[in-house]
Structure 1
Amino acid sequence: MTAAAALTLTGCLQNPEAATGGGFGGVGAEPEEGDGVVSILGAFGGGEEEQFNASLAEFEEESGIDVQYVSDQDFTNTIQVRADAGDLPDIGLFPQPGGVLSLAERGLLVPIDSMLDYDEIESTLVNGFLDSARYDGRVYAAPMRMAVKSIVWYPKQAFEENGWDAEPATLEELDELAAQIQEDTDTPPWCIGWQSDQATGWVGTDWVEEYMLRLHGPDVYDDWIYHRMPFNDERVVEAVQAYGELATDDDVLGGSRGILNTPFADAMTPAFNEDPGCYLMRQGNFATGFFPEDVQENLDEEVGIFTFPPAADGFDGQPILGGGDLAAAFSYDTDTAAVMEFLASDQFGGPWAQAGGWLSPHTSFDASLYPDDTTRQIAEMGYTSDVFRYDGSDVMPREVGSGSFWTGMVDFQSGSASAQEMVDEIENGWPQSDEPMDEEGEDQ
């Protein structure tokens, strides 16, 4: 047994929710001896693949384990095909929890409490992140990368020149800020673009999820995304309407219908003009990759950020909507356990963090490794949040999350459906075979 593997197996099996649910063996079963090779399948390609491998190099040298990573841009479908064929890697890196839950239901994944110290991982993770892969009372994947979506971006120089509030504490104060910008500049405050070819609509689902978290809190949010309450519940209607009240013709560059024709990647570009065409954009941390090159090269000076704030009369705390990549094991041996422990730790990702484009989900990660203050601020948003919740559309059945929810938001944004009509249509089309899960991730 390698030294790394030996360390992996000490102090494990601490999951307080451990049950007898599906998966490999039972809690306490000894893993098989590894053969020195661990295969990983994921969607990281190009520069991300290089940084992923660079982040594993020191671990491989110290542990003696050969980690063989294969990139597949169609990972979500490929992993299901390979599962059907009985040709699975040792570890899969899932960009969404839905795939984890479906394979856990089939008994193909190893519960992480069988090989990792559940309590230790949870103690440093962003609050609520680990539960994104809970099924039948047990967790089947560990976060190894974080994405933060609840970010409002703005052109820093324009804010400084006008003396605008860059730290609105509530949604109500955010509305006041938008009104002040419009009054001072006679310009729409919001930069919003949804156009994403066949995926148009996903930006709109993020907006509704943000409002669901803030108006009604994480418990109601969970009931909604797991269909423990109807999609057309009045609280969902309220969230859709709250977004609609923000994105009016007067408040968005191009008007409310222009949103559908504005590429999401170009939404904020007008904010960097000498005379900005808009000033505020709510979008995830990946947005920096679409900013003009001169802005990217001087990010800290050009762009300011603040967290999309809570509602004064809503959830008592600061929620964060986000996402991330989850490491899940298909095999149960000492080498796979060692690699899983490293991927799930705050020691993974240093080279990737320094290169940019990667955030650790661990609050204990060395933030000095991030390349700029903006990235450190974004990471801190996640680390200091009161609760983190995964993008709901990534958890819902595919027919809804990347189907009727997307198209429904397009119908709402275009004015062809009211909020109530939209959610009614989605509820009526919810897959009948998809059983809701209770709070422990068990089918009802």
Structure 2
Amino acid sequence: MEALGFYARINFERTKMSTIRSRFVAIGATAIAASLVLAGCAASDEETTTAGGTTDTGDATVAGCEAYAAYAGNEGAEVEIYTTIIDPEASLFIESFVEFEECTGITINWNGTQEFEAQIAVRVEGGTAPDLAIFPQPGLLASFSDSLVPADADLTASVDALYTPDWKTYGTADGTFFAAPLGANVKSFVWYSPKTFADNGWDIPTTWDELLALSDTIAAEGNVQPWCVGIESGGATGWAATDWMEDLMLRFQDGDTYDAWVDGSLPFNDPKVAEVLAEAGKIIKNPDYVGNVQAIATTSFSAGGAGVVDGSCAMHRQASFLGGILVGDYGATIVTP
């Protein structure tokens, strides 16, 4: 079982959960607990409110289920949560719903797919939108603002009380608050095997230039491929490469330039963006570092880091969620350097 470490974190990925309008109206979208997730239930038009509302049927609350009293009277209802999150991470979310389901009689159907970005539009346009959706990017959420149910006063108050204002902005589009923060992955880590580094006498780099110099050293020694990279993700293929750009945009440019690039006011052919693209290419387009460059596009992001476990590559850049994949799928042990 390989022990893996990580270094060099730069920015964050924020994930939001939102309710989408569909032929079923999602109700009760309020926090189960601040550290868990949101849940909702589908009900008939006669007994629904917008996201965050409640249904009061007068049913007695079972002992130990007081936290879910607002959801009483919805036994037999089913709620679909549509998301990009799949196993092994998905199992943790599903486990967190057990008490809620037992107390309310509501079934949570977790629908995780790597085709989320492509299929969410198809489902909304086709009238089969999910009850709840977990959006992995603020920009994607904003593009569906006309189809989303705004958060109600209770959910808004919960977020105002439990989160700093900047977190609320990620679930806000066109001045309307739709989605509470659900989770965050730290980006970026560079994952590596401490044993491999120790066996080869490699030091942990602390600057971009040192990282490139280490990559040159590993490549020259010829025993291990310096980097393993994979960006395939179904209809969302490419986001892993965009993460490289985001990291380096913050390293080589300032925050205002990054924001202008994100909102589209700084075009991709701007010299500042071209500089960052060239820096990223020093690693991910360098066959001495990554081997078959063309294979990157067909290697899934989840399998891209396998090489740091089996020793076929020295480093892999990916967010903090990769730890669960490396442990669950490849038997790694994660350690903090």
TM-score (normalised: structure 1): 0.49
C-alpha distance in 1 between matches for 2:129 and 2:235: 30
Structure 1 residues 227, 195: CA separation in 2 closer, same or farther (over 3 Å shift)?
A: closer
Q: CA deviation at 1:95?
A: 3.8
Q: CA deviation at 1:282?
A: 0.9
Match of 2:248 in 1: 211
C-alpha distance in 1 between matches for 2:287 and 2:88: 41
Cα deviation 1:149-181 (Å, max 9, x = unaligned): 411111221211233223x33222322332343
Q: Is the 8 A contact 1:152 1:283 kept in 2?
A: yes
Structure 1 residues 230, 112: CA separation in 2 closer, same or farther (over 3 Å shift)?
A: farther
Cα deviation 1:177-236 (Å, max 9, x = unaligned): 323434555654222244567665443222222211222244322221221222322211
Match of 2:81 in 1: 41
Cα RMSD, aligned residues only: 4.1
Q: Is the 8 A contact 1:112 1:141 kept in 2?
A: no
Structure 1 residues 203, 225: CA separation in 2 closer, same or farther (over 3 Å shift)?
A: same
Q: Is the 8 A contact 1:192 1:281 kept in 2?
A: yes
Q: Is the 8 A contact 2:226 2:313 kept in 1?
A: yes
Count how many residue pairs are aligned between Structure 1 and Structure 2: 268
What percent of counterpart residues are identical? Answer: 31
C-alpha distance in 1 between matches for 2:107 and 2:253: 44
Equivalent AA in structure 2 for residue 205 of structure 1: T
C-alpha distance in 2 between matches for 1:224 and 1:180: 34
1:70 aligned onto 2:104: no
1:225 aligned onto 2:247: no
1:154 aligned onto 2:154: no
- Taking the TM superposition and a 5 Å limit, the aligned residue runs for 1:151-230 are 151-166=189-204, 168-184=205-221, 187-194=224-231, 200-230=237-267
C-alpha distance in 2 between matches for 1:250 and 1:84: 42
Q: What SS class does the counterpart of residue 143 from structure 2 fall into?
A: helix
Equivalent AA in structure 1 for residue 314 of structure 2: Y
Q: Is the 8 A contact 1:103 1:109 kept in 2?
A: no
C-alpha distance in 2 between matches for 1:189 and 1:197: 26
C-alpha distance in 2 between matches for 1:254 and 1:237: 23
Match of 1:392 in 2: none
Cα deviation 1:329-369 (Å, max 9, x = unaligned): xxxxxxxxxxxxxxxxxxxxxxxxxxxxxxxxxxxxxxxxx
- Taking the TM superposition and a 5 Å limit, the aligned residue runs for 1:316-335 are none
TM-score (normalised: structure 2): 0.61
Q: What SS class does the counterpart of residue 150 from structure 2 fall into?
A: coil
C-alpha distance in 2 between matches for 1:195 and 1:107: 29
Q: CA deviation at 1:132?
A: 2.6
Match of 1:142 in 2: 180
Q: Is the 8 A contact 2:118 2:236 kept in 1?
A: no
Q: Structure 2: any 5+ residue segments left out of the alignment?
A: 1-27, 32-49, 57-70
Match of 1:52 in 2: 93
C-alpha distance in 2 between matches for 1:281 and 1:165: 16
Moved more, 95-104 or 222-231: 95-104
Structure 1 residues 250, 94: CA separation in 2 closer, same or farther (over 3 Å shift)?
A: closer
Structure 1 residues 98, 34: CA separation in 2 closer, same or farther (over 3 Å shift)?
A: farther
Structure 1 residues 139, 270: CA separation in 2 closer, same or farther (over 3 Å shift)?
A: same
C-alpha distance in 1 between matches for 2:283 and 2:134: 36
Q: Is the 8 A contact 1:45 1:71 kept in 2?
A: no
Match of 1:297 in 2: 331
Q: Is the 8 A contact 1:194 1:204 kept in 2?
A: yes
Cα deviation 1:11-45 (Å, max 9, x = unaligned): xxxxxxxxxxxxxxxxxx99754253373432366
Equivalent AA in structure 2 for residue 280 of structure 1: M
Q: What SS class does the counterpart of residue 252 from structure 1 fall into?
A: helix
C-alpha distance in 1 between matches for 2:188 and 2:303: 18
C-alpha distance in 2 between matches for 1:262 and 1:250: 15
Q: What SS class does the counterpart of residue 189 from structure 1 fall into?
A: strand
Equivalent AA in structure 1 for residue 196 of structure 2: A
Equivalent AA in structure 1 for residue 55 of structure 2: G
1:284 aligned onto 2:322: no
C-alpha distance in 1 between matches for 2:131 and 2:233: 34
C-alpha distance in 2 between matches for 1:52 and 1:30: 20
C-alpha distance in 2 between matches for 1:268 and 1:257: 17
Q: What SS class does the counterpart of residue 34 from structure 1 fall into?
A: coil
Q: Structure 1: any 5+ residue segments left out of the alignment?
A: 9-28, 301-372, 378-444
More strand by share: 2
